[in-house]
């Protein structure tokens, strides 16, 4: 082992508690050497990764990474929240005692980095100077260089973020050891992988993966699970899997900000990166703040609800990203962006990448193309329909590369939140948008957010896979306590945000076509929502919220059949009454659910029964 003290001295790492943490895990993992990383090391690390064959170049200033074929996604069943108090057990957080999990992870990590470099990555999950900065500092230790490169893109990296902490001991201790990926028994009874957040000790211990949220510990493990627990324990903030956008009205000069949660495959990233439709572009501009995480808090002096994206980059799903669905995303991974693609199809001869949905047709000339596992596509049989790219293939890029990034995305203040929206993919029941002006009913709606079951989540016909606040895989403590904390934080705001539920995915029952065109046109119902909050429109009241009238929606430049418009602005009473029964079963799973939420449920059910 190299002289740890000398290495940390040379890197300028002065926090004594961080230095103790580094020494403890250097000894435990048996790493041969350590390296303390700053953002300025990025170019050198990229060059080293290419030389070592860990990355390949994709044209000018773009890079390609291929993960082990059994290591391609988050693993919810192996993800655990551990604390010393069983009251923290929830339905979704896979709670286990810290006294059990810490020794188990230490045993797995012991000597597992022998012969490797242990990279020390000090990071910040907040704009510097933000009100929540005290909960945003962390240090990730990892034995994988590509993980470091992703962390530099996804967080603010440098020793300055941990050297001058008010409390030198108040940082998240995050340890990532990849393990022997080919011999971990992934998906078997002998699976050795564990992804553990010891929330009440602010310690993250992940073993057995080098992919995505399993390995980028500042992102999900800190940004969501640990952040949620910290927000609750401090009674200061919410950490949510929310996108965050700004809408600027050029005519009035006003700015609005909307955040919200969407389950997987429900259009969150496309909404976050959308541009205004051409017909409305002269008046409105949409700004991107983030597509995955938002921390929310109330500023004590003003009583204003604020939000910010703790991330510094985008870890986006490549599948179906194209010029129509998300042109801003494509621009953010153009040449000289230093972006990293993972598990897409790759042509080392031409330096091109491709994924399903990138173009309508696959590249006609298969020569030189390799699929996400590295196999030549030209060798495939003609009838081989296996995907070229993995369905969970990704691109990683910094926020600054996104063309419509907000000018104040890194400002310490954060932005005032005007609306909180939820949206799931459902072919019926949910109209285009329904607004909710009562806090408890808004939180109730978020707790019963769901999407239709997919191939990855089997479900009964007509039953949604519920994903409370789109935070189901990231719950850090009991759902009832979470609901009360949400009511307390947002309820403290003097100017209450308006809530809404949106659905871009209603289909015609006969031919299956989408009733709403979606993408850029999704701005239109959001503009109506802001007008409703401002008292400029009234909408039509229903038992489940306020729905726009056809006259109130700005449809300039659109050509939508009258029958389709009528359908997406209508409530199916019978379908909704069926849904209320499913919702009650869902909520009954959770301990300590606030009475305010049950009152909201009964109120909506009674209003439905009385609705003509």
Which single residue is written with the structure tokens 């069983």? 86
DSSP letter at 225?
Answer: I
Task: Tell whether residue 65 is among the known ligand binding residues.
Answer: no
Task: Tell whether residue 392 is among the known ligand binding residues.
Answer: yes
First to last CA, the chain: 76
Task: Tell whether residue 112 is among the known ligand binding residues.
Answer: no
155 counts as catalytic: no
CA distance 300 to 353: 48
Task: Tell whether residue 99 is among the known ligand binding residues.
Answer: no
Q: Which of 142, 248, 276, 268 is nearest to 205 (CA)?
A: 142
Task: Tell whether residue 540 is among the known ligand binding residues.
Answer: no
CB 7 within 8 Å of CB 125? no
Task: Tell whether residue 268 is among the known ligand binding residues.
Answer: yes
Task: Tell whether residue 394 is among the known ligand binding residues.
Answer: yes
H or E segment to which residue 595 belongs: helix 595-610
Angle (CA) 171-181-66 rounded to 5° is: 90
CB 420 within 8 Å of CB 449? no
Task: Tell whether residue 522 is among the known ligand binding residues.
Answer: yes
CA distance 395 to 270: 14
Task: Tell whether residue 30 is among the known ligand binding residues.
Answer: no
Helices and strands (DSSP H and E) totals, the chain: 16, 30
Task: Tell whether residue 266 is among the known ligand binding residues.
Answer: yes
Half-sphere exposure at residue 438, Cβ-oriented, CA atoms within 13 angstroms: 15
Task: Please tell me which residue in 266, 287, 332, 470 is annotated as part of the active site.
Answer: 266
What residues contact residue 591 under an 8 Å CB cut-off, 6+ apart?
478, 479, 480
Task: Tell whether residue 199 is among the known ligand binding residues.
Answer: no
Task: Tell whether residue 283 is among the known ligand binding residues.
Answer: no
CA distance 355 to 394: 10
Task: Tell whether residue 265 is among the known ligand binding residues.
Answer: yes
Paired strand residues for 29: none
Task: Tell whether residue 520 is among the known ligand binding residues.
Answer: yes
The pair of structure tokens assigned to 58 is 């994709």
CA distance 45 to 584: 52
Task: Tell whether residue 393 is among the known ligand binding residues.
Answer: yes
Q: Output the known binding site for substrate.
A: 74, 211-213, 264, 392-394
Q: Output the known binding site for GTP.
A: 265-270, 394, 425, 519-522
Which are the catalytic amino acids? 266
Q: Output the known binding site.
A: 74, 211-213, 264-270, 392-394, 425, 519-522
């Amino acid at each position: 082992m190299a002289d740890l003290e000398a290495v940390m001295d040379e890197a300028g790492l002065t926090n004594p508690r961080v230095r103790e943490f580094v020494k403890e895990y250097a000894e435990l993992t048996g790493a041969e050497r350590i390296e303390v990383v700053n953002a300025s090391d990025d170019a050198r690390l990229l060059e080293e990764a290419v030389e070592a064959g860990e990355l390949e170049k994709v044209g000018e200033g773009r890079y390609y990474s291929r993960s082990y074929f059994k290591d391609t996604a988050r693993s919810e069943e192996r993800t655990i929240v551990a604390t010393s108090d069983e009251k923290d057990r929830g339905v979704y957080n896979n709670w286990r005692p810290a006294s059990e999990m810490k020794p188990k992870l230490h045993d797995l990590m012991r000597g597992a980095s022998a012969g490797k470099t242990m990279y020390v990555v000090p990071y910040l999950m907040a704009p510097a100077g933000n009100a929540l900065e005290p909960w945003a500092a962390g240090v990730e230790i990892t034995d994988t260089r590509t993980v470091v490169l992703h962390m530099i893109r996804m967080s603010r990296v440098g020793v300055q973020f941990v050297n001058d902490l008010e409390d030198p001991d108040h940082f998240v201790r995050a340890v990532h050891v990849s393990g022997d990926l080919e011999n971990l028994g992934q998906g078997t009874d002998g699976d050795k992988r564990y992804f553990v957040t010891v929330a009440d000790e602010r310690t993250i211990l992940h073993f057995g993966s080098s992919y995505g949220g399993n390995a980028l510990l500042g992102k999900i493990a800190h940004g969501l699970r640990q952040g949620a627990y910290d927000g609750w324990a401090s009674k200061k903030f919410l950490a949510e899997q929310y996108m965050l956008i700004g809408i600027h009205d050029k005519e009035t000069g006003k700015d609005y900000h909307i955040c919200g949660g969407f389950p997987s495959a429900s259009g969150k990233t496309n909404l976050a990166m959308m541009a205004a439709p051409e017909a409305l572009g002269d008046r409105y501009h949409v700004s991107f703040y983030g597509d995955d995480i938002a921390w929310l808090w109330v500023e004590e002096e003003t009583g204003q609800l604020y939000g910010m994206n703790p991330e510094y980059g985008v870890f986006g799903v490549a599948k179906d990203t194209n010029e129509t669905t998300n042109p801003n995303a494509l621009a953010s991974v153009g040449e000289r962006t230093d972006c990293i693609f993972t598990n897409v199809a790759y042509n080392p001869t031409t330096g091109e990448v491709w994924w399903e949905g990138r173009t309508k047709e696959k590249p006609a000339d298969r020569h030189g193309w390799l699929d996400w596992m590295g196999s030549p596509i030209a060798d495939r049989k003609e009838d081989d329909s296996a995907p070229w790219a993995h369905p969970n293939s990704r691109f990683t890029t910094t926020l600054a590369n996104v063309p419509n990034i907000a000018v104040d995305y890194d400002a310490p203040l954060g932005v005032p939140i005007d609306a909180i929206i939820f949206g799931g993919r459902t072919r019926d029941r949910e109209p285009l948008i329904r607004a909710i002006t009562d806090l408890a009913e808004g939180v109730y709606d978020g707790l019963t957010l769901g999407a239709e079951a997919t191939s990855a989540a089997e479900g009964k016909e007509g039953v949604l896979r519920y994903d409370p606040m789109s935070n189901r895989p990231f719950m850090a403590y009991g759902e009832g306590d979470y609901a009360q904390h949400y009511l307390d934080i947002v309820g403290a705001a003097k100017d209450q945000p308006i809530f809404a539920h949106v659905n871009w995915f209603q289909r015609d029952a006969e031919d299956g076509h989408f009733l709403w065109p979606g993408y850029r046109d999704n701005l239109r119902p959001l503009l109506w929502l802001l007008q409703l909050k401002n008292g400029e429109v009234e909408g039509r009241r229903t038992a489940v919220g306020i729905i726009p009238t056809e006259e109130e929606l700005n449809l300039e430049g659109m050509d939508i059949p009258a029958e389709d418009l009528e359908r997406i602005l209508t409530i199916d009473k019978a379908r909704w009454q069926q849904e209320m029964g499913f919702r009650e079963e869902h909520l009954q799973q959770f301990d300590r659910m606030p009475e305010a939420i049950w009152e909201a449920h009964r109120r909506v059910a009674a209003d439905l029964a009385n609705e003509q």
